[in-house]
Structure 1
Amino acid sequence: MPTTLVNRIRHTLSPNNHPYMNGAWTPNFDEYDATGMQVIGEIPKDIDGVYVRNTENPVHDPIGVYHPFDGDGMIHAISFRDGEAEYRNRFVRTRGFEAEQEAGGALWAGIAEHPSQSKRPGFGCHGGIKDSSSTDVVVHAGRILSTFYQCGEGYRLDPYSLEQQGIESWTPIDGISAHPKVDEATGELLFFNYSKHAPYMHYGVVGPDNRLRHYVPIPLPGPRLPHDMAFTQNYSIFADLPLFWDESLLAKGYHAARFHPDMPTRFAIIPRYGKPEDIRWFEADPTYVLHWMNAYEEGDEIVLDGYFQEDPQPPALDGFPGKLGQMMAYLDEHSMKPKLHRWRFNMRTGEVKEGHLDDRVLEFGSFNMKVAGRKGRYLYSTTTEPGWFLFNGLVKHDLDTGRSWSLPFGDGRYGSEAPFAPRIGATEEDDGYIVSFITDLRQDRSECVLIDAKDIEAGPVCQIILPHRISSGTHAAWANGEDIRRARV
């Protein structure tokens, strides 16, 4: 089988029993190119594009307690065309990654430690930590953009070869948060960042030519911890959430998140190219939301879907010492209880209506990005293993009828965020595939699966066996091949 080991990364990670450095989270150090992989079933010929996933892969023994979001970014990409598939994986060569490779060990402590533990000045809104570019990934202007949730520099890679293309030139001084959004209808990239200094948040628009076109403040009362944004055809949406760093501890350099249930969730809705004075503010029930889904305009209202946490600050999980128990709870969706939720903002009256769309614990959803910013019908959520940050299945939602369909991955099989890939020539919103990487602990392997989005309960139409078992991680994206090729012209 034509699989090539391209590089073996030098590491100093010792054997350990950390729950997020073993099992499905066992790190990778090898970089591969692979074609002609074993296929169970048949790769459809009506799929064209690239599935890209970002994962956290620690390379060195940590300074203090390791949090899985501290790991170095590794991009895994599998491309499809004419019934064939190619796989590659590469570490993101961030400044921090390269510096620690040169030093031969960790230089920065993670988010569970005081920044003073780091051996060098750090990056991002937290400060004192490494910008590992290991959180989110999108494809814009024909290239991958890899980002860090604490607002890093933004790293570009070629979506097919994974050739490193350096730091994005328009990165603002306060960085780019995870979850910039690509509007496929216009080719624009919408992004935000946040910091510990006024005005605490900024919002920007990058054109399809990859030039910064708009950058304005979204003034907040103090440092906040937003993680995502949403957009409609004409507006961008940001949240001031009542879970943020404890102000008294922050003054001492400690970054401890606290939920304030007596404070509302505030939403800032701004025209895409609006100014701060154009922002409309709305108040809703207190919660924390990691991820928003689609948003759209309907008459006088803006409709927004996302995952409302019923317990944003859960108690520590039993059986884990010290800081580890609290960390495990913050990684466990069954502790935080996110539920698919809908908000309606009346732009004429200022009224807010909201409520759950589903009472199950769900998160890390996806939808057909061709309808992003406009009303869509279908949404695909992931389910998780109780006590763990591990995806163990999918749920397809019909938002018009309220029906849903489920696909459990099976015992010991854990997936990745699963975006929607439209079928070539598709005319219906759910005509395409759900794409995911599955790590099978029983068979000690990883595979890429394609699932018919019209019938997820039928299971994968094909399984492509990857050259190695890959680590779990956070986010993934799908990019259509035609869009990539058009952007390169």
Structure 2
Amino acid sequence: MPSLALPQSPPASPSWLKAFRDLPHTYGFQPVKVEGRLPPELEGTLVRVGPVTFGVGEQRYGHWFDGDGGVLAVRLGGGEARAAARLIETPSIRAERTAGKVLFSNYGTPAPTLWRRLFGGVKNAANTSAMTWNGRLFALVEASRPTELLMDDLRTLGETDLDGLVGPAFSAHPHPVVPRKASYNFGVRYGAVTWLDLYELPDDKPAVRHLGGLPLPGTVLVHDFIATANHLVFLVAPMRMNLFRTMMGRGSLSENFEWKPELGTEVIVVPIDRPSKAVRFQAEPFHAWHFGNGFEQGGRIYIDFVRYPDFRTNQWLAEQMKGWANTEIDGTLHRATLDVKAGTLHCEQVSERRCEFPGISPLRAGIRHRYVYLAGHAGRETWRGPQDAVIKVDMDTGAETMVRLGDEHHPSEPLFIPRPGGQAEDDGWLLIQGYDAAQDQSYIAVLDAKTPQSGPVARVVLEHVFPFTFHGTWVPKR
């Protein structure tokens, strides 16, 4: 008679799981503790947006991307710091809190009834990134319109279509282009035909410009893109939504994206000045969540991004909220070279380290850059949890600098802030929201970008844990 296997005990909860609890309380700007010395030239406000509540009523959300949005802001100046934390109040978030249950479809959490899945709309979780434009502050999520926040105390002003110029969706990843003195973004409209809307946001004009749009190949997922001095570039991975299963409630949107490598990744290159002349061609199958920068040189387009061989990382992201990850991730920094005339894309791996959230100096957005800053995993065996290291990569030499902020410390996306008057791409500071899991403490670390290996020159210590955020922005002192 075969022996019966004994049931395995569930693994102990990892220390970082405590960061996935709901934001304990909210408040306006108030003084917080500073360890070390803040650089006197560093004056402005760091704004971070991310999921801060992870369920409603008795139901826990099905994916990290579903958490209701919150905003953290840390104002620096005169060697002191003040912090504020708020929940973001969109109509759909308020409706679910009032009802005490899920009402709307979200990325990893389906609506409860067929009628709501078909006609109830998509939840605006406002939980992915922050954007400032012409003195206004917005919280963004890719499936909905922007949500405007009051700059002074972070209170929610409401959803906006930016004077009727933005459609039902406005991506969470706008990209500035320095030579054009403008930022660019997109939105994906789903329907009988999936449509990609393109937008320009001039730095010195309060009106959005709709550049036009183009059809996409079915119900696809487009999370990010990149802009160069002359082009907008989209890499559309070979995922397609199983609409029948989704509408019938057999799984969530996240669970019903199917990886179809035989389709390849579609490359879409849109000339900014002639959007109707987009060039499209196929490349090998791969997926990308985030792009660092793009530039043009010698008739080719170069793009730095984190490349994944497939879509397994989506499952890893869902598993983080549960405290375990059985799905190994292998996203690494790559540089893609596009020859638009020949219709080819060639990818070269720059680093073997697992990483995410690539960023550069904002002074080089859309033009050639040297340094990329990332959050990553320090070792090959630390991939089960959130990133635990900060990485600086020299794209000219391939040299890497890897920094640990401490044992059981988990950094967010590094945000580079140029020193006033500085021109070098590492003449400034990295601002990083960190979580010390051993002490159950959140903080903002300030690193000198030239020598990040020296550790933080200062830390702003929050009085409570603020859950992991995805993206942020820097608002210089007015």
The one-letter amino acid paired with 1:169 is D
Name the CA shift for 1:140/1:102 in 2 (closer, same or farther; >3 Å). Answer: same
Q: Paired residue for 2:198?
A: 203
**CA distance in 2: counterparts of 1:19 and 1:65, whole angstroms:** 19
Q: Paired residue for 1:312?
A: 311
Structure 2 residue runs of 5 or longer lacking an equivalent are 1-11
Matches of residues 283-432 of structure 1 in structure 2 within 5 Å? 283-313=282-312, 335-384=328-377, 386=382, 388=384, 390-432=386-428
Q: Give yes or no for the alignment of 1:56 onto 2:56.
A: no
- 2:261 is paired with a residue of what secondary structure? coil
Name which of structure 1's ranges 374-383 and 416-425 shifts more when overlaid on structure 2.
416-425
Paired residues of 2:178 and 2:367 also in contact (CA < 8 A): no
Name the CA shift for 1:40/1:95 in 2 (closer, same or farther; >3 Å). Answer: same
Please give the per-residue CA displacement for 1:89-109, whole angstroms capped at 9, x wherever unaligned: 111111112223433444335
Matches of residues 210-221 of structure 1 in structure 2 within 5 Å? 210-221=206-217
Please give the per-residue CA displacement for 1:213-240, whole angstroms capped at 9, x wherever unaligned: 1231221121110100100111111122
Name the CA shift for 1:169/1:298 in 2 (closer, same or farther; >3 Å). Answer: same
Distance apart, 1:169 and its partner CA: 3.1
Name which of structure 1's ranges 430-439 and 94-103 shifts more when overlaid on structure 2.
94-103
Please give the per-residue CA displacement for 1:158-192, whole angstroms capped at 9, x wherever unaligned: 34432433222336333112212233554423111
Distance apart, 1:129 and its partner CA: 4.0
Distance apart, 1:429 and its partner CA: 1.3
The partner residue of 1:130 within 123, 128, 142 is 123
**CA distance in 2: counterparts of 1:453 and 1:416, whole angstroms:** 15
Name the CA shift for 1:453/1:232 in 2 (closer, same or farther; >3 Å). Answer: same
The one-letter amino acid paired with 1:166 is G
Name which of structure 1's ranges 291-300 and 437-446 shifts more when overlaid on structure 2.
437-446
Distance apart, 1:337 and its partner CA: 0.8
Name the CA shift for 1:64/1:159 in 2 (closer, same or farther; >3 Å). Answer: closer
Paired residues of 1:296 and 1:373 also in contact (CA < 8 A): yes
Q: Paired residue for 1:441?
A: 437
Name which of structure 1's ranges 165-174 and 40-49 shifts more when overlaid on structure 2.
165-174
Paired residues of 1:109 and 1:118 also in contact (CA < 8 A): no
- 1:473 is paired with a residue of what secondary structure? coil
**CA distance in 2: counterparts of 1:293 and 1:324, whole angstroms:** 23
Distance apart, 1:400 and its partner CA: 0.5
- 1:305 is paired with a residue of what secondary structure? strand
The one-letter amino acid paired with 2:147 is Y
Distance apart, 1:425 and its partner CA: 1.7
The one-letter amino acid paired with 1:27 is D
**CA distance in 2: counterparts of 1:325 and 1:301, whole angstroms:** 39
The partner residue of 1:91 within 72, 80, 87 is 87
Name the CA shift for 1:62/1:371 in 2 (closer, same or farther; >3 Å). Answer: farther
Distance apart, 1:84 and its partner CA: 2.6
The partner residue of 2:153 within 161, 166, 174 is 161
Name which of structure 1's ranges 374-383 and 60-69 shifts more when overlaid on structure 2.
60-69
Q: How many residues align?
A: 455
Name which of structure 1's ranges 78-87 and 104-113 shifts more when overlaid on structure 2.
104-113
The one-letter amino acid paired with 2:94 is E
Q: Paired residue for 2:5?
A: none
Please give the per-residue CA displacement for 1:40-64, whole angstroms capped at 9, x wherever unaligned: 1111111122211112122623546
**CA distance in 1: counterparts of 2:226 and 2:462, whole angstroms:** 33
Q: Percent identity?
A: 25
Distance apart, 1:456 and its partner CA: 0.8
Paired residues of 2:69 and 2:125 also in contact (CA < 8 A): yes
Name the CA shift for 1:333/1:425 in 2 (closer, same or farther; >3 Å). Answer: farther
User: What TM-score do you get using the length of structure 2 for normalisation?
Assistant: 0.86
Matches of residues 110-149 of structure 1 in structure 2 within 5 Å? 110-117=106-113, 128-149=121-142
Distance apart, 1:248 and its partner CA: 5.2
Distance apart, 1:324 and its partner CA: 7.0
Q: Paired residue for 2:9?
A: none
Q: Paired residue for 1:11?
A: none
**CA distance in 1: counterparts of 2:346 and 2:260, whole angstroms:** 21
Paired residues of 2:372 and 2:393 also in contact (CA < 8 A): yes
**CA distance in 2: counterparts of 1:119 and 1:19, whole angstroms:** 39
**CA distance in 2: counterparts of 1:301 and 1:46, whole angstroms:** 38
**CA distance in 2: counterparts of 1:299 and 1:367, whole angstroms:** 22
Q: Paired residue for 2:187?
A: 193
Matches of residues 174-253 of structure 1 in structure 2 within 5 Å? 174-197=168-191, 198-208=193-203, 209-246=205-242, 249-250=245-246, 252=248
**CA distance in 2: counterparts of 1:22 and 1:191, whole angstroms:** 33
**CA distance in 1: counterparts of 2:185 and 2:296, whole angstroms:** 20
User: What TM-score do you get using the length of structure 1 for normalisation?
Assistant: 0.85
Paired residues of 1:268 and 1:279 also in contact (CA < 8 A): yes
Paired residues of 1:418 and 1:476 also in contact (CA < 8 A): no
Name which of structure 1's ranges 66-75 and 394-403 shifts more when overlaid on structure 2.
66-75
Please give the per-residue CA displacement for 1:301-336, whole angstroms capped at 9, x wherever unaligned: 01111111024237978xxxxx9769979x969723
Name the CA shift for 1:324/1:300 in 2 (closer, same or farther; >3 Å). Answer: closer
Distance apart, 1:441 and its partner CA: 2.1
Paired residues of 1:390 and 1:472 also in contact (CA < 8 A): no
Q: Paired residue for 2:77?
A: 81
- 2:26 is paired with a residue of what secondary structure? strand
**CA distance in 1: counterparts of 2:268 and 2:198, whole angstroms:** 11
Name the CA shift for 1:38/1:251 in 2 (closer, same or farther; >3 Å). Answer: closer
Name the CA shift for 1:192/1:85 in 2 (closer, same or farther; >3 Å). Answer: same
**CA distance in 1: counterparts of 2:249 and 2:458, whole angstroms:** 50
Q: Paired residue for 2:167?
A: 173
Q: Paired residue for 1:7?
A: none
**CA distance in 1: counterparts of 2:239 and 2:320, whole angstroms:** 15
